[in-house]
């Protein structure tokens, strides 16, 4: 089954005095690119998240945001005023530098600032931090599964669209094969007319046959059509394959284009050239969809 690289998933959770929300989204990419925004005071969390994501997803640009905050419980949670002022000043410096370089930044929430400047990490001992980390990682699994489920649904739609494009390419290839056979008699008739305009005497049948044979050799597209048929079968098999096939399909689209370009250059026939151009359109449309396949 084809898998898309496009997906989105969210989950909320709690542990003790903490509450959080996950947001994971995925778009197409040549490889696997993971960008994380998680609390840095939970030791090893980022590395563990990266390892889990790599084990579940092979391709795509992933962006994961974890918003973690401590639930207000009386006077238990206090802000470190000195740390808060220093952090706000740093935020202003970063925003000013980002504007200078025309880089857009997502605004930080109050909860995120509190998590950086509050006493949450100071009140938690190592054992409690590990328990919090375990709870977070335990919920990461269903979050990824929700993303994968959405990518699979998108993949089904992609598969249907690409199958339709591939069928169009197959039909056009059959038409090209029929026209290429008819083209021989068309060339013979055109050559007779051309020669008749230049000479008044009767045309030597043997010479005419030689000229026609030469034209046929130079403009023969049998190999291109045979390779197109082979590529169609291979692409059809890939669409049914259960696993990442995006790179192979992308390479297949390049091979399709190469054969059709050669067919058009050798065509020397109005109808066959028109078929070739229609094939190029169908191939380009299919390739656009292939870019989203894992």
Q: What domains, with CATH codes, occur in the chain?
A: 79-118 (no CATH), 155-290 (1.20.140)
Give the pairing of strands 7-15 and 18-27: antiparallel
Would you give the end-to-end CA distance of the chain in angstroms? 11
Residue 26 contacts residue 7 (beta carbons within 8 Å): yes
Sign of the torsion formed by the C-alpha atoms of 76, 77, 83 and 84: negative
Q: Where are the alpha helices (DSSP H) in the chain?
A: 45-56, 81-100, 110-117, 120-123, 126-198, 205-219, 222-240, 246-267, 270-290
Using alpha carbons only, what angle is made at residue 282 by residues 270 and 180, rounded to the nearest 5 degrees?
Answer: 35
- Of the CA atoms within 13 Å of residue 285, those in its CB half-sphere come to 15
CA 246, CA 252: separation in Å to the nearest integer? Answer: 10
Residue-wise pLDDT tens digits, 4-13: 999 999 999 9
**Digitized pLDDT (tens) for each residue of the chain, 294 residues in all:** 788 999 999 999 998 889 999 999 999 998 999 999 999 889 899 999 999 999 999 999 999 999 998 875 544 455 667 777 887 888 888 888 888 887 777 777 776 666 666 544 445 678 888 999 999 999 999 999 999 999 999 999 999 999 999 999 999 999 999 888 777 666 556 655 655 655 555 666 666 666 666 666 566 788 999 999 999 999 999 998 888 899 999 999 999 999 999 999 888 788 999 999 999 999 999 999 999 998
Closest CA to 23 of 14, 38, 10: 10
Q: Could you tell me which of 248, 252, 247 has the C-alpha nearest to residue 59?
A: 247
| β-pairing verdict for 32-37 and 18-27 | unpaired
pLDDT digits (tens, 9 = 90+) for 154-169: 999 999 999 999 999 9
CA 56 to chain CA centroid, Å, is 17
**Separation of alpha carbons 118 and 69, rounded Å:** 10
Are 252 and 162 in contact, with CB atoms under 8 Å apart?
Answer: no
Going across the sheet that includes 18-27, the strands are 7-15, 18-27, 60-70, 32-37
SS3 3: coil
Predicted local confidence at residue 111, as pLDDT: 64
Polymer length in residues for the chain: 294
């Amino acid at each position: 089954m084809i898998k898309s690289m496009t997906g989105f998933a969210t989950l909320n959770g709690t542990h003790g005095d903490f509450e959080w929300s996950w947001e994971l989204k995925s778009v197409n990419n040549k490889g696997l690119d993971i960008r994380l925004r998680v609390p840095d005071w939970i030791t090893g969390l980022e590395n563990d998240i990266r390892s889990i994501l790599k084990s579940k997803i092979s391709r795509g640009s992933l962006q994961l945001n974890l918003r973690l905050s401590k639930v207000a419980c009386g006077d238990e949670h206090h802000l470190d005023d000195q740390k808060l002022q220093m952090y706000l000043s740093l935020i202003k410096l970063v925003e000013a530098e980002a504007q200078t370089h025309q880089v857009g930044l997502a605004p930080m929430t109050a909860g995120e600032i509190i998590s950086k400047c509050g006493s949450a990490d100071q009140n938690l001992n190592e054992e409690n931090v590990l328990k919090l980390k375990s709870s977070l990682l335990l919920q990461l699994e269903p979050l990824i599964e929700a993303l994968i489920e959405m990518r699979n649904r998108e993949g089904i739609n992609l598969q249907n669209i690409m199958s339709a494009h591939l069928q169009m390419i197959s039909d056009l290839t059959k038409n090209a094969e029929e026209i290429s056979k008819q083209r021989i008699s068309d060339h013979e008739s055109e050559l007779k007319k051309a020669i008749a305009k230049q000479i008044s005497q009767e045309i030597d049948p043997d010479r005419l046959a030689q000229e026609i044979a030469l034209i046929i050799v130079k403009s023969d597209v049998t190999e291109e059509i045979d390779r197109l048929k082979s590529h169609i079968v291979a692409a059809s098999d890939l669409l049914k394959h259960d696993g990442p096939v995006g790179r192979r399909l992308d390479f297949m689209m390049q091979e399709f284009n190469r054969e059709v370009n050669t067919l058009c250059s050798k065509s020397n026939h109005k109808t066959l050239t028109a078929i070739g151009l229609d094939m190029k359109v169908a191939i380009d449309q299919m390739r656009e969809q292939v870019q989203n396949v894992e």
